[in-house]
């Protein structure tokens, strides 16, 4: 796993605090990581990378896009809690979104899951996805997918949902992985106005948060809150 | 004065066992004194026509005195005669009938008030119909009938036989009817007393439950306040404690907690509605330390009656207090879902230590503040939990069971 975080203490201590992770690269910028091009299962990415020493570096959605376009699986690791920003990260291609506020052990489990090919979608984003499905912004063809999303949106564990659907937990995790990929793809195809309409937001509420295809500037990210 | 007047008013008597027995005493006195009044006009004729005028007068006086004594005794006792009194009453009636066969001429024994003995015997049958002992009652009735037959003796000739049989039937029928009247009225009084006692017990339990509901969250908060914590967490707890304090004050003042204006929605009144999602959000904000994920978009437009919202707020607070105190949960999800038909479901899920519902008795919070209060308002509440698998509480409106179930089968309807 590679770590991209502007705080040197955090990026250097990952290997020590999370022994289950094999950190092969720990860098301060996405640009440096893409230059070194390490072979890793996933990149752990802090969303906010610009500071006085590196004011112009790529961060946020632009950083996610830069990494996913080079074939990396990305898991963000940030203090960001705004649900639409987190949803935007998933829409931009992140496989996981893990909050820095989580206990270390739980964060480590989620990071390993993403590195193993799984996903880590925060509850608030699952809620947004459920609303978009319910309001026909995203179409789910499979009845089973609907059932899984229904359970996950209510916070049920894989074990509980698997028991109710009479499938094994590993099978259900597979379903959930397929579902989150499908939902992320669908989310990416939506425009901010479509999402605003579905969620009952005011026009323009998402304009500055949502990654439209044309917006790839490295400084679009608003850093006035969240860190 | 009015109290003394009220004492004699049958309509004012309580519908208790004691009240019914008192009404019986009025009835008995009325029948017995009424019979004496009917006997009075013919007494002088009886004295004149009887072969033993003095003895006739003495027997008449004995009957009249007995009637008065029975009336007075029942009025004073405030209930009918006991077994001994009734036995003596029946015995006197029988004796007077037997004596009548000697004191009256054969032609005088039927159809006149000179022959007061059968009418007197009937009044005894009617007024002693309420004696508790069935044997005594049946024996007394049988004795009167036998004595009546002796009393008639040779006087029951052809044309009077039918009248005599009719009189015997009158004894029997009245005895049965009056016996039923006494018995059924006593049963009604007994049931009324039992119902009142039950209602009082239910009222006591309801008051106890109200007190438990009102105090529970406050007690839980006070317990949390006694535990060590940061200034920020204590500040949050103190804010919540002030809300609970207002509720408890309202309760102690005897005011309904959701009508006095001291709570979040009290001023809104019973007819107004509350934005449910906003209310949930405010509660979740007060439990910021639990990092609650509040997913409320699907029910953003839902409005509920203020009183129902108040109960739901208390229930949600109680659930989150439980999570804070016992669950040791990493995540808490509060999910609100409204169906197209207006039904709604609120799911509160934590991934904490859980419990075994079969072996753990629910505390006041779950049992009364959540299940009791909400079910009383027509809401459905389901609790699913298992050790180390967290707890899921599903609260839903009663109108759409499909939407209320937290099972995944419901997703077809809901999604």
Domains of chain A by residue range = 2-199
Query: How much of chain B, in percent, has pLDDT values that exceed 90?
Result: 44
First to last CA, chain A: 23
* pLDDT over threshold 90, residue B158: no
Q: Which residues of A touch B411 (CB under 8 A)?
A: 146-147, 149-151
Of the listed ranges A88-92, A188-192, B42-46, B98-102, the one predicted with least confidence: A188-192
Res. B403 pLDDT band, cuts 50 70 90:
very low
Q: Which residues 19-48 in chain A show a CB within 8 A of chain B?
A: none
Give the number of other CB atoms < 10 A from CB of residue B381.
Answer: 18
- For residue B339, the chain A residue with the least C-alpha distance is A134
Output Rg (C-alpha) for chain B, integer angstroms.
Answer: 38
- How far is the alpha carbon of B334 from chain A, nearest alpha carbon, in Å? 7
DSSP B323: I
What distance in Å separates residue A95's CA from the closest CA in chain B? 20
Cβ contacts (< 8 Å) between B351 and chain A: which residues?
155, 157
Low-confidence ranges of chain A (pLDDT < 50): 214-227
* C-alpha distance from A128 to closest chain B C-alpha (Å): 8
- Per residue in B216-232, pLDDT (tens digit) is 777 777 877 877 777 77
Q: Is A53 on the interface with B (CB under 8 A)?
A: no
Does A105 touch chain B if contact means CB atoms closer than 8 Å? no
Nearest neighbour of B389 by CB, restricted to A153, A154, A157: A157
Residue in A with minimal Cα distance to B392: A156
Q: Answer yes or no: is pLDDT of B361 > 80.
A: no
Residue A128 touches partner B, C-beta closer than 8 Å: yes
pLDDT value of position B6 = 54
Mean pLDDT of B22-36: 95
Whether B297 sits inside 8 A of A123 (CB atoms) is: no
Report residue B246 as tokens: 């207002």
**pLDDT band for position B413 (cuts 50, 70, 90):** very low
Q: Return the CATH number of the domain spanning residue range B270-414.
A: 3.30.565.10
At residue B321 the predicted structure's pLDDT band, cuts being 50, 70 and 90, is confident
B318/chain A closest Cα distance in angstroms = 19
Nearest to A147 among B332, B335, B408 (CB): B408
| B216 close contact with A: CB closer than 8 A | no
Rounded CA-CA distance B127/B30 in Å is 10
Q: Which residue has the higher pLDDT, B78 or B236?
A: B78
B390 touches chain A (CB under 8 A): yes
**Separation CA B116–CA B109 (nearest Å):** 9
Residue among B293, B332, B406 whose CB faces A124 most closely: B293
Q: Average model confidence (pLDDT) for chain B?
A: 84
Name all contacts of A7-16 with Cβ < 8 Å and 24+ positions apart.
A7/A46, A10/A46, A14/A44
Radius of gyration over every alpha carbon of chain A, rounded to an integer in angstroms:
17
Cα–Cα distance measured from residue B133 to residue B291, given in angstroms and rounded to the nearest whole number: 75
- pLDDT (tens digit, 9 = 90+) per residue, B284-317? 888 888 889 999 999 988 999 888 888 898 889 8
Confidence of residue B108 (pLDDT cuts 50, 70, 90): confident
Q: Which residues of B touch A200 (CB under 8 A)?
A: 297, 300
CA distance A13 to chain B (A): 23
Crossing angle for the helix pair B53-77 and B83-103, to the nearest 10 degrees: 160
For position B415, what pLDDT does the model report? 31
Write down the pLDDT at residue B140.
95
Kindly state whether A131 is in contact with chain B, defined as any CB-CB distance less than 8 angstroms: yes
Question: CB B247: neighbour CB atoms within 10 A?
Answer: 22
Q: Could you tell me if A141 lies within 8 Å of chain B, comparing CB atoms?
A: no
The pLDDT confidence band at residue B5, using thresholds 50, 70 and 90, is low
CATH 3.30.565.10 domain residues, chain B:
270-414
Predicted pLDDT at B360: 66
A142 touches chain B (CB under 8 A): no
- In 3D space, the residue among B283, B292, B314, B285 whose CA is nearest the CA of residue B376 turns out to be B314
Buried b (16+ CB within 10 A) or exposed e, B265-276: bbebeeeeebeb
Q: For residue B291, what pLDDT is reported?
A: 83
Query: Has residue B8 got a pLDDT over 70?
Result: no
- Residue B279's nearest CA partner among B211, B342, B268, A196 is B268
Tell me how far apart the alpha carbons of residues B284 and B278 are, in angstroms, rounded to a whole number.
Answer: 10
Cβ neighbors of A150 (< 8 A, separation 6 or more) are A130, B408, B410, B411, B414, B415
CATH class of A2-199: alpha beta
CA distance A30 to A56: 11
> Is B300 touching A (CB cutoff 8 A)?
yes
Average pLDDT (B203-222) is: 79
Q: How many angstroms separate the CA of residue A177 from the nearest CA in chain B?
A: 18
Nearest Cβ partner for B415 among A127, A128, A146: A146
For the whole model, what pTM was predicted? 0.63
B240 backbone dihedrals φ, ψ, rounded to 5° = -65, -35
Q: What is the ipTM of this complex?
A: 0.84
Cα B370 from chain centre: 27
- CB contacts < 8 A, A to B, total 79
B295: β partners: B335
Is residue B340 less than 8 Å (CB to CB) from chain A? no
pLDDT surpassing 70 at residue B268: no
- Beta-carbon separation of B347 and A155 below 8 A: yes
pLDDT band at B112 (very low <50, low <70, confident <90, very high): confident
Instruction: Give the pLDDT of residue A138.
Output: 84
Q: Is B182 exposed, middle or buried (0-12, 13-18, 19+ CB in 10 A)?
A: buried
- Which chain B residue shows the shortest CA-CA distance from A136? B415
């Amino acid at each position: 796993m590679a770590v991209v975080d502007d705080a040197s203490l955090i990026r250097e201590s990952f290997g020590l605090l999370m022994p289950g992770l094999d950190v092969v690269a720990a860098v301060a910028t996405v640009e440096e990581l893409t230059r070194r091009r390490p072979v890793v299962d996933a990149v752990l990415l802090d969303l906010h990378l610009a500071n006085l020493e590196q004011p112009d570096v790529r961060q946020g959605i632009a950083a996610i896009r830069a990494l996913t376009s080079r074939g990396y699986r990305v898991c963000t690791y940030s203090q960001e809690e705004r649900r639409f920003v987190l949803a935007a990260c998933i829409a931009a291609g992140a496989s996981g979104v893990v909050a820095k506020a989580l206990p270390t052990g739980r964060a480590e489990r989620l990071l390993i899951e993403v590195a193993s090919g799984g996903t880590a979608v925060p509850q608030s984003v699952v809620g947004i996805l459920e609303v978009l499905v319910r309001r026909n912004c995203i179409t789910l063809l499979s009845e089973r997918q609907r059932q899984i999303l229904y359970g996950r949106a209510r916070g049920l564990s894989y074990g509980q949902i698997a028991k109710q659907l009479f499938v094994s937990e590993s099978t259900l995790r597979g379903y959930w992985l397929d579902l989150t990929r499908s939902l992320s793809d669908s989310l990416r195809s939506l425009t901010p106005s479509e999402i605003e309409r579905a969620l009952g937001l005011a026009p323009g509420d998402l304009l500055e948060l949502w990654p439209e295809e044309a917006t790839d500037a490295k400084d679009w990210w608003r850093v006035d809150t969240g860190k | 004065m009015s109290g003394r007047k009220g004492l004699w008013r049958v309509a004012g008597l309580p519908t208790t066992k004691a009240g019914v027995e008192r009404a019986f005493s009025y009835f008995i006195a009325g029948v017995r004194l009424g019979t004496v009044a009917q006997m009075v006009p013919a007494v002088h004729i009886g004295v004149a026509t009887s072969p033993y005028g003095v003895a006739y007068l003495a027997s008449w006086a004995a009957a009249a005195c007995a009637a008065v004594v029975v009336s007075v005794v029942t009025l004073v006792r405030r209930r009918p005669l006991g077994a001994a009194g009734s036995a003596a009453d029946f015995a006197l009636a029988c004796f007077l009938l037997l004596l009548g066969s000697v004191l009256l001429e054969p032609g005088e024994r039927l159809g006149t008030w000179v022959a007061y003995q059968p009418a007197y015997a009937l009044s005894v049958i009617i007024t002693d119909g309420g004696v508790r002992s069935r044997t005594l009652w049946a024996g007394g009735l049988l004795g009167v009938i036998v004595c009546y037959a002796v009393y008639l003796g040779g006087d029951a000739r052809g044309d009077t036989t039918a009248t005599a049989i009719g009189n015997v039937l009158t004894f029997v029928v009245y005895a049965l009817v009056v016996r039923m009247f006494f018995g059924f009225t006593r049963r009604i009084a007994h049931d009324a007393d039992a119902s009142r006692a039950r209602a009082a017990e239910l009222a006591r339990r309801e008051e106890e439950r109200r007190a438990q509901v009102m105090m529970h969250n406050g007690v839980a908060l006070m317990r949390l306040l006694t535990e060590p914590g940061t200034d920020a967490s204590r500040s949050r707890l103190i804010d919540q404690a002030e809300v609970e304090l207002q509720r408890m004050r309202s309760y102690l003042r005897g005011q309904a907690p959701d009508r006095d204006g001291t709570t979040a929605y009290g001023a809104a009144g019973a007819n107004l509605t509350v934005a449910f999602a906003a209310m949930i959000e405010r509660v979740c904000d007060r439990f910021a330390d639990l990092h609650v994920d509040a997913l409320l978009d699907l029910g953003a437009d839902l409005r509920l009656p203020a009183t129902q919202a108040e109960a739901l707020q208390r229930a949600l607070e109680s659930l989150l207090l439980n999570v804070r105190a016992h669950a040791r949960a990493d995540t808490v999800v509060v999910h609100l879902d409204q169906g197209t038909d207006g039904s709604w479901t609120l799911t509160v899920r934590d991934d904490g230590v859980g419990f075994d519902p079969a072996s753990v008795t629910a505390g006041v919070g779950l049992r009364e503040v959540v299940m009791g209060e909400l079910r009383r308002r027509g809401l459905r509440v389901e609790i699913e939990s298992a050790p180390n698998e967290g707890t899921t509480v599903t609260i839903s409106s009663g109108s759409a069971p499909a939407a209320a179930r937290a099972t995944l089968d419901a997703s077809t309807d809901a999604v």
